[in-house]
Amino acid sequence: MELKLRKWNKADLNSLVKYANNWNVAKWLTNGFPHPYTIEDGKAYLSMIANDNPIKVFAIEVDGEAVGSIGIFPQSDIHEKSAEMGYWLAEEFWGQGIMTKAIQEIVAYGFSTFDIVRIFARPFSTNLQSQRVLEKAGFVFEARLKNALFKNGEFMDELIYVKLKNDKMPNR
């Protein structure tokens, strides 16, 4: 299995829609990630990220096909030295170490590309798999925001995991 992060392109549209149109993916993401995920949603997404320079959102490619997405989003104002990381992966590829590797790659890219010292991710408290993948990639739990999220008619805690620039990456 060959994994790489690369720029999204228009030819990825069908793959994007195929894998993003999955409730088991969408239920862990903000409401900005629609379900069902349509061709129009995919076109809008690819158009929105097409001109980022430097690139902030990457396709996660496995064996030549885009099967997920990962992004790094530098913050502004008093948070300008921090960046948020977000990601999703097609359900068929869960549990294979793909996301751990993708996170490690984007962390290295983020620290070398942007003038930041901190990368954070905000998984739902109920998403144990996402928490575990962050820990495997060297992130540490920083905070729990009680009832900060409301999705699908229920309140959940929001967790914050962080990786600092001078922290060592795990050897995995």
pLDDT in tens, 94-136: 999 999 999 999 999 999 999 999 999 999 999 999 999 999 9
CB-based contacts of 32: which residues, under 8 Å, 6+ apart? none
Rounded to 10°, the helix 98-113/128-136 angle is 60
Structural domain boundaries enclosing 24: 3-164
Residue 170 banded pLDDT, cuts 50, 70, 90: low
Q: What is the CATH number of the domain that holds 34?
A: 3.40.630.30
More confident position, 143 or 167: 143
Exposed / middle / buried, residue 72 (Cβ in 10 Å: 0-12, 13-18, 19+): buried
The total of structural domains in the chain comes to 1
Are 84 and 120 in contact by the 8 Å Cβ rule? The answer is yes
Does the reported pTM lie above 0.85?
yes
| Average predicted confidence (pLDDT) for the chain | 95
Two tokens, residue 145: 């925001």
Question: Cα separation of 11 and 46, whole Å?
Answer: 10
